[in-house]
């Protein structure tokens, strides 16, 4: 029988070997500088659709000098508009979707205690969906497993220190008074990230060891995270929180700090049962928080079916059960299972970052259209909390 220390050594070796492989994959994916880049561009028709205006309006703005034309390639053809170009176009043409100064930023917690539901995938795709549409987005990785941080192109083991996570702000002996220190820029000009790594879990240990004074310490930490996020959210329209998939101190603090809850779940019986348990547990916890004087208020609570296979009869059956159980709280459009999403994740990317399809053009187009529709449901919920309605598409008006 092997000794305990040898088992520990073996596990440590496995972890170290895995971390080295992640770094190798990251370097291969982000050559030549080993830094994630963003080279996606939009044609004029797609740009007009995103801005809610006509292609003629864009061309007129380019003709009269208000907008620069997109660069041309070696063959003389226009290369399309970058994300930076799109943001500038929104400002010049008055097509920015930003919230009004009196509207609070949407602070959406993407949470489920069941693993494998695509929580981090939904988080990153939701962030990039909002970014494409011109919103200012902050993603806060509160999970020490740091999958979201990895998908944004950072290696949590090699690139992120504990001092760059939420730890210096939430620890028993904090060294930071606000969260500005932790904000990192990403390749997206309108998406920032507060990263995570394994050492963030130290917060859980410290608070568990707080002793008899634990309850007051916990309450203080809950209020502190909410205050810090509220302060920093002044610079953003949407804040997306990715908490740990467990009922710990950080998860509870995130649940209290958020003003909206999005629960992803897959269309399987175990996922459905686990999600019901999660909701039941959340109900009890929120009741206890309220009794302790810690306010929790959500502008919306929705469930989003992810990894849905329309060709699997069992998925249809489970989704029907979800509809009967959750009613309108279940968003009507699920995220479809797609090899394109899996292939993009292998490159530490989302569908919105791909310059060209990985699989067939048809598969990519279908996947992108589904994501736009599914995540657009969340956008409309956010806009409704601001009292905003859908913008009218000028192209549709002109063409009847």
Query: Does residue 291 lie within any of the structural domains?
Result: yes
Residue 34: pLDDT over 70: no
Query: Does residue 232 lie within any of the structural domains?
Result: yes
Rounded mean pLDDT of 172-187?
94
Residue 15: pLDDT over 80: no
Res 160: pLDDT:
92
- Chain Cα centroid distance, residue 311: 27
Residues 81 and 218 in one domain: no
Instruction: Check: CB of residue 319 under 8 Å from CB of residue 275.
Output: no
Q: Residue 189's domain is classified under what CATH number?
A: 3.40.50.300
Rounded mean pLDDT of 303-331?
93
User: At 17, is the pLDDT very low, low, confident or very high (cuts 50, 70, 90)?
Assistant: confident
User: At 30, is the pLDDT very low, low, confident or very high (cuts 50, 70, 90)?
Assistant: low
Residues 311 and 371 in one domain: yes
Query: Does residue 324 lie within any of the structural domains?
Result: yes
Residue 25: pLDDT over 80: no
Res 247: pLDDT:
77
Query: Does residue 19 lie within any of the structural domains?
Result: no
Query: Does residue 100 lie within any of the structural domains?
Result: no
Res 148: pLDDT:
94
User: At 20, is the pLDDT very low, low, confident or very high (cuts 50, 70, 90)?
Assistant: confident
Residues 83 and 121 in one domain: no
Rounded mean pLDDT of 355-377?
94
Residues 267 and 133 in one domain: yes
Residues 81 and 183 in one domain: no
Res 4: pLDDT:
47
Helices 119-132 and 361-385: crossing angle in degrees, nearest 10, is 80
Residues 112 and 86 in one domain: no
Domain boundary among 59, 93, 127: 93
Rounded mean pLDDT of 90-103?
94
pLDDT tens figures, 182-221:
999 999 999 999 999 999 999 888 877 765 454 566 677 7
Residues 339 and 384 in one domain: yes
pLDDT tens figures, 223-248:
889 999 999 999 999 999 999 888 78
Residues 54 and 113 in one domain: no
Residue 5: pLDDT over 70: no
Res 262: pLDDT:
96
Query: Does residue 399 lie within any of the structural domains?
Result: no
Residue 331: pLDDT over 90: yes
Check residues 347 and 222 and name the one with the higher pLDDT: 347
Residues 72 and 196 in one domain: no
Residues 230 and 319 in one domain: yes
Q: How many domains does the chain have?
A: 2
Residue 105: pLDDT over 50: yes
Residues 180 and 243 in one domain: yes
Check residues 46 and 32 and name the one with the higher pLDDT: 46
For residue 78, the enclosing domain spans 44-93
Residue 157: pLDDT over 80: yes
Query: Does residue 372 lie within any of the structural domains?
Result: yes
Res 396: pLDDT:
39
Query: Does residue 15 lie within any of the structural domains?
Result: no
Domain boundary among 36, 70, 93: 93
What integer best gives the mean pLDDT of the chain? 86
Residues 62 and 194 in one domain: no
Res 347: pLDDT:
84
């Amino acid at each position: 029988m092997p000794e305990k220390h040898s088992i520990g050594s073996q596990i440590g070796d496995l972890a170290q070997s895995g971390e080295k492989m992640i770094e190798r994959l990251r370097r291969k994916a982000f050559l030549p500088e080993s830094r994630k880049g963003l080279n996606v561009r939009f044609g004029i028709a797609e740009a007009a659709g995103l801005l809610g205006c006509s292609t003629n309006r864009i061309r007129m703005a380019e003709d009269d000098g208000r907008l620069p034309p997109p660069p041309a390639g070696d063959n003389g053809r226009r290369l399309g508009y970058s994300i930076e170009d799109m943001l500038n176009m929104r400002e010049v043409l008055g097509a920015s979707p930003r919230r009004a100064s009196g509207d609070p930023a949407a602070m959406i917690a993407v949470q489920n205690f069941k693993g494998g539901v695509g929580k981090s995938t939904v988080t990153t795709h939701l962030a990039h969906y909002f970014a494409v549409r011109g919103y200012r987005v902050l993603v806060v990785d509160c999970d020490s497993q740091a999958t979201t941080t990895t998908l944004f192109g950072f290696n949590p083991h090699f690139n992120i220190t504990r001092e760059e996570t939420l730890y210096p702000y939430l620890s028993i002996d904090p060294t930071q008074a606000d969260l500005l220190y932790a904000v990192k820029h990403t390749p997206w000009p309108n998406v920032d990230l507060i990263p995570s790594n394994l050492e963030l879990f130290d917060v859980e240990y410290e608070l568990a060891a707080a002793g008899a004074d634990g309850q007051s310490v916990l309450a203080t930490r809950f209020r502190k995270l909410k205050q810090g996020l509220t302060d920093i959210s002044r610079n953003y329209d949407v804040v997306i929180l990715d908490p740990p998939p467990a009922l710990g101190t950080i998860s509870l603090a995130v649940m209290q700090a958020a003003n909206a809850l999005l629960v992803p779940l897959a269309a399987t019986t175990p996922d459905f049962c686990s999600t019901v348990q999660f909701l039941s547990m959340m109900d009890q916890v929120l009741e206890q928080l309220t009794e302790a004087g810690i306010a929790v208020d959500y502008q919306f609570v929705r469930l989003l079916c992810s990894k849905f296979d329309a060709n699997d009869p069992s998925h249809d059956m489970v989704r029907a059960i979800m509809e009967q159980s959750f009613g309108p709280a279940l968003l009507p459009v699920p995220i479809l299972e797609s090899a394109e999403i899996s292939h993009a994740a292998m490159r530490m990317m989302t569908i919105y970052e791909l310059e060209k399809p990985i699989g067939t053009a048809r598969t990519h187009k279908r996947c992108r259209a589904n994501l736009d529709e599914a995540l657009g449901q969340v956008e409309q919920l956010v806009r409704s909390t601001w009292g905003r309605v859908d913008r009218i598409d000028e192209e549709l008006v002109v063409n009847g």
